[in-house]
Amino acid sequence: MKDFIFGTLSLEAFDHEISQTIAVVSMVIGMFFVLGLITYFKRWRWIYKDWFCSLDPKRIGVMYLIIALVMFLKGFGDAVMMRTQQVMGVGDSMGFISAHHFQEVFSAHGTVMIFFVGMGVIFGLMNLIVPLQIGARDVAFPFLNAISFWLFAAGGMLMLISLAIGGFSISGWLSYPPLSGLEYSPSEGTDYWIWMVQVAGVGSTLAAINFLVTILKMRCPGMHFMRLPIFVWSCLGSVILVIFAFPILTATLALLTLDRYLGMHFFTPDFGGNPMLYVNLIWAWGHPEVYILILPAFGVFSEIVATFSRKRLFGYTSMVWAILAIVVLSFVVWLHHFFTMGAGPHVNAFFGIMTMLIAIPTGVKVFNWLFTKFRGEVHLDVPMLWFFAFVLNFSVAGMTGILLSSPPVDFELHNSLFLVAHFHGMVIGSFLFGFFAAFNYWWPKVTGYQLNQRWGVYAFWCWFMGFLLAFMPLYVLGFMGATRRLNNYPAETGWHPYFMLVAVGVAIIFCGINFQVIQLIRSYMQRRTRRAIAGDPWDGRTLEWSTTSPPPEYNFAKIPQVHERDIFWAMKYKGVSVSDGDYEDIYLPISTGVPFLIGMLVILFGFGFTWKIWWMVISSFVGVVALLITHLSKDDAHEILKADEVRKMEEASS
């Protein structure tokens, strides 16, 4: 009876090391603090009705970013623990966490940053910006959009639950077999990893389908493909990659699940299985994933460089073709992640050449941005500072990537900290810096007021200098033979001074994060709506179309009419009108709590599978199916805003 009710869950699942206990207690205190504030201000009904049940893509976008922020703090905490351990764990000292816990932290850091911070940020920006830039009132499938978000949030919640109940995977952020098999990982950690990634991945796939249809079918009149804003082009490339790459991940995890739960042998080295099959499949998803994250950042920088140089984007057509080239080439380079597998010189040569070729469309973008600034009126506001930091870091990381694309070099540097530095330079130096630029750039559009620039500059310099100090020494350590996953190393290696520099860099980045928090608080306390004024470089593209800041729920009272490519530019400098026509009735989907309830049931589904609580698995699955059938059997209900109401609301806002 006990096994039926609790499965494999026991009191041992709550027995943690002191460092993990501190993390759990901190998380619980923070959670109760937030819940207490909500209760004190009596905002529970408002949060549930206006946010959890909302189908408005702008609110869903904000919730994506909130989840990404929470997970970023968790992932950064993991990074701090790893670097602190590497400073302390030298010679006879074993540091402050055990080797087992270090592997859990290592695995959790990569999983959180890629699947929950990265994917949360790009879909958050898409929800906030894409409908505004294509002149759409909503996304193609509002209900599906909400389900996508709550599946993503359910995966994130499973990650946080693993902190308190049980342990996490020790097999890395991609869970290579045989380490992720039952023989070497018999505990629940890998099962947590499988279900959180599987659930979040399905949500990402559904969201990508939604945005593909939105961009293809909901563009306003006159906006053909070569008139799309470049950010929308970058998002289109990203969602195409998601649609083709994430099903590979889903299938791969399904096979790993069968290995672990039903004793099959797809990835075990006996009974005909092959661990390298898993590595091929996971990187067939994994390398496109890099560009899934980076392409939207390229779009952000394209918007920012044009705005703050007060020039049209140089080489629009070449930028579009570069995006499409990256989309295609990103699927034929995956094997460079494991040149050391012994595939043979012909295979290695092909993938090495393809890896070098993908640098060409990437380099095209850098030259386009530089030529956009050439003879422009460059304004060094905070978003532009992030662009300059991106160009430096991305160029360095890109050159080291070309170095690693040579199989003989990769044989020496594979799995070393040189590779870690390269990867973080690509992801942090492009994707994360791109998000920080977008955060400062589009904040007025989302909230109606600008961020405090002084604290933004402080945060930028801490991040920029801290990043260089935290990752440049890793290139040196890689050449000196330091590998990943090191929780202890001999003192005679001479690595300790470099790990000290890395730790100082992490501390400076932490200061930058604090400055960003202060920036938010100060900006909120001093908030005021700032209208675009003549001569202000921040208008034009920041205030998409003629909507207010923040936009109304319906985005546009009149659907825009596009007559040329740079319509924002035309609005500002040529006085072109993009909202001709009469007011009309607007149909808005009525909010529903079904997606939220599905997300909660999916958490129980993943938790039940992890601990083999089969009654929980079955009941939660039946609940999800019942909710979907009940909702889909109803007529599609909409709230209708009459044309006169819309006109009066527009007059009041102006």
**Phi, psi at residue 66, to the nearest 5°?**
-65, -45
H helices of 339-452, where? 345-357, 359-373, 382-404, 407-413, 417-426, 433-447
Return the amino acid letter for 212.
L
Please choose, from the candidates 362, 293, 307, the residue with its C-alpha nearest in 3D space to the C-alpha of residue 126.
293
Token pair, residue 184, equals: 């070497």
Q: Which of the four pLDDT bands, split at 50, 70 and 90, describes residue 585?
A: confident
Beta-carbon count within 10 A of 218 CB: 18
Average pLDDT, the chain: 90
Helix (H, G, I), strand (E, B) or coil at 189: helix
CATH superfamily of this structure's domain 1-214+591-636:
Cytochrome c oxidase-like, subunit I domain (1.20.210.10)
Show Cβ contacts of residue 654 under 8 Å, excluding neighbours closer than 6 positions: none
The confidence score (pLDDT) of residue 647 equals 83
- 151 confidence band (pLDDT: 50, 70, 90): very high
Which tens digits make up the pLDDT trace of 476-509? 999 999 999 899 999 999 999 999 999 999 999 9
- What's residue 64's pLDDT? 97
Spatial CA neighbour of 609 closest among 279, 256, 282, 177? 256
Q: How confident is the model at residue 93 (pLDDT cuts 50, 70, 90)?
A: confident
Question: CB-based contacts of 417: which residues, under 8 Å, 6+ apart?
Answer: 474, 475, 477, 478, 482, 483, 484
Main-chain phi, psi angles of 104, to 5 degrees: -65, -45
**For residue 247, how far is the Cα from the chain centroid?**
18
Q: Which two tokens stand for residue 490?
A: 């001999």
* Cα 128 to Cα 54: distance, rounded to the nearest angstrom: 14
Place 531 in a pLDDT band, splitting at 50, 70 and 90.
very low
Model-level pTM? 0.95
Give the H/E segment covering residue 589.
Answer: strand 586-589
Q: Which pLDDT score, from 0 to 100, does residue 154 have?
A: 97
What does the block give as tokens for 532? 């675009």
- Give the type of residue at 516: Q
pLDDT confidence of residue 560: 83
- The answer to whether 430 and 505 have CB atoms below 8 angstroms apart is no
What is the per-residue pLDDT for 579?
65
Pairwise pLDDT comparison (291 vs 529), residue with the higher score: 291
pLDDT tens digit sequence for 621-652: 999 999 999 988 876 678 888 888 888 887 77
Provide CB contacts within 8 A for 287, sequence distance 6+: 330, 331, 333, 334, 336, 337
Does pLDDT of 611 surpass 60? yes
CA-to-CA distance for 573 and 589, rounded, in angstroms? 36
Per-residue confidence (pLDDT) for residue 238, from 0 to 100? 97
- Closest by CA to 414, choosing from 337, 327, 503, is 337
Confidence band of 572 (pLDDT split at 50, 70, 90): low
State mean pLDDT over 176-182. 92
